């Protein structure tokens, strides 16, 4: 015989009631079957657990030692069951989320706050990076989800949900005469030096900037690159050049930088949430649901 949880429950019932008769009523079986179960348990333990007498039952020294060790087992099992059920519903566990620096500025990260409020027992690990690195991390399973800028040819194994689609706007040094020009158009930036993010860290914004300039009739003169859009804006503040950035970046409000809308600009840039198509984790499903519910606000 292998010891089972029901044997522990029967043993604890008798110990608590001090009577085989009352314990049998409590656990809902007859007294003879209960006695047989305890005899089986005693054979398994290799020691007598109860002194039986006409008025009830008392624990032996072996019974008291056994009771001390097993008294919390039913409660621990119940807690384990509840934890497993909560994990199955995505309410208890861990989730690894990546995001690009520009995700700060369009409200995407507010979804993380809403998720944490709804599921406080899910531990979140947050990682900031460029879109290319984040996409690779999700594909490899190093991250569960990521907010990033999508690009053509992105891993087909990634499922995406649109979070934001934004126009590009001009970012210029405040001292640049064009910053104050009325009716500024993209074509007016033809002679300017551009600062862009490297294509290898995420082609989405990089290509959108160059394509918009071509549509306006000129090739952008790329003077230098910067690893993140925040760095691009910092360089613009230093007077190093101009750029086109997603509209949400204007929330940076960096001294020395002027953001201008352009009536002749073509194209938009997107921010998406990505996760693996094969991932059936309830944690991922719940997070995607939190992002979806945010769209309704």
Q: What is the mean pLDDT of the chain?
A: 90
Nearest to 288 by CA among 112, 120, 81: 112
CATH architecture of 93-162+271-295: 3-Layer(aba) Sandwich (3.40)
Would you state the structure tokens that stand for residue 182, as one six-digit string? Answer: 């009325």
Q: Pick 5-71's CATH classification: 1.10.10.10, 3.30.428.10, 1.20.1260.10, 1.20.1050.10.
A: 1.10.10.10
Do strands 56-59 and 50-53 pair parallel, antiparallel, or not at all (unpaired)?
antiparallel
Residue 10: CB partners within 8 Å, gap ≥ 6? 23, 27, 34, 37, 38, 41
Contacts 24+ apart (CB under 8 A), 44-52: 44/1, 44/2, 44/3, 44/7, 45/3, 49/11, 50/14, 52/20
Least reliable range by pLDDT among 3-17, 154-168, 225-239, 283-297: 283-297
CATH of domain 164-269: 3.40.190.10
Is 201's pLDDT higher than 70?
yes
Least reliable range by pLDDT among 42-56, 77-91, 93-107: 77-91
Nearest to 119 by CA among 82, 97, 92: 92
239, 173 contact by CB (below 8 A)? yes
Distances (CA, A) of 47 to 29, 41, 57, 67, 292: 24, 9, 15, 13, 60
* pLDDT, tens digit (0-9, with 9 covering 90-100), for 69-96: 998 988 888 888 887 887 788 778 899 9
Domain with CATH 1.10.10.10 in the chain: 5-71
* pLDDT, tens digit (0-9, with 9 covering 90-100), for 216-274: 999 999 999 998 898 999 999 999 999 999 999 988 888 999 999 999 998 899 999 99
Residue 113: CB partners within 8 Å, gap ≥ 6? none
Domain with CATH 3.40.190.10 in the chain: 93-162+271-295, 164-269
């Amino acid at each position: 015989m292998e010891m089972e949880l029901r044997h522990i429950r029967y043993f604890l019932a008798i110990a608590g009631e001090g009577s085989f008769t009352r314990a049998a009523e409590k656990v809902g079986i007859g007294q003879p079957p209960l006695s047989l179960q305890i005899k089986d348990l005693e054979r398994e333990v290799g020691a007598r657990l109860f002194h039986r007498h006409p008025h009830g039952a008392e624990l032996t020294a072996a019974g008291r030692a056994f009771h001390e060790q097993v008294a919390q087992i039913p409660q621990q099992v119940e807690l384990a069951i509840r934890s497993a059920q909560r994990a199955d519903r995505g309410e208890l566990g861990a989730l690894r989320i990546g995001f690009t620096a520009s995700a700060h500025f369009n409200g995407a990260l507010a979804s993380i706050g809403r998720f944490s409020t709804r599921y406080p027992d899910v531990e979140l690990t947050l990682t900031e990076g460029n879109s290319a690195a984040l996409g690779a991390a999700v594909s490899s399973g190093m991250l569960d989800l990521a907010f990033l800028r999508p690009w053509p040819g992105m891993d087909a194994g990634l499922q995406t949900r649109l979070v934001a689609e934004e126009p590009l706007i001009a970012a210029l040094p405040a001292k640049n005469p064009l910053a104050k020009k009325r009716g500024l158009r993209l074509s007016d930036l033809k002679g300017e030096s551009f600062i862009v993010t490297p294509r290898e860290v995420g082609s989405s914004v990089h290509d959108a900037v160059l394509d918009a300039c071509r549509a306006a009739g000129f090739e952008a003169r790329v003077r230098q690159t910067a690893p993140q859009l925040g760095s691009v804006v910092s360089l613009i503040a230093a007077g190093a050049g101009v750029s086109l950035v997603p509209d949400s970046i204007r929330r940076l409000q960096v001294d020395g930088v002027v953001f201008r809308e352009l009536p002749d600009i073509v194209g938009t840039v997107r921010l998406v949430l990505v996760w693996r198509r094969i991932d059936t984790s309830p944690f991922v499903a719940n997070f995607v649901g939190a992002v979806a519910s945010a769209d309704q606000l």
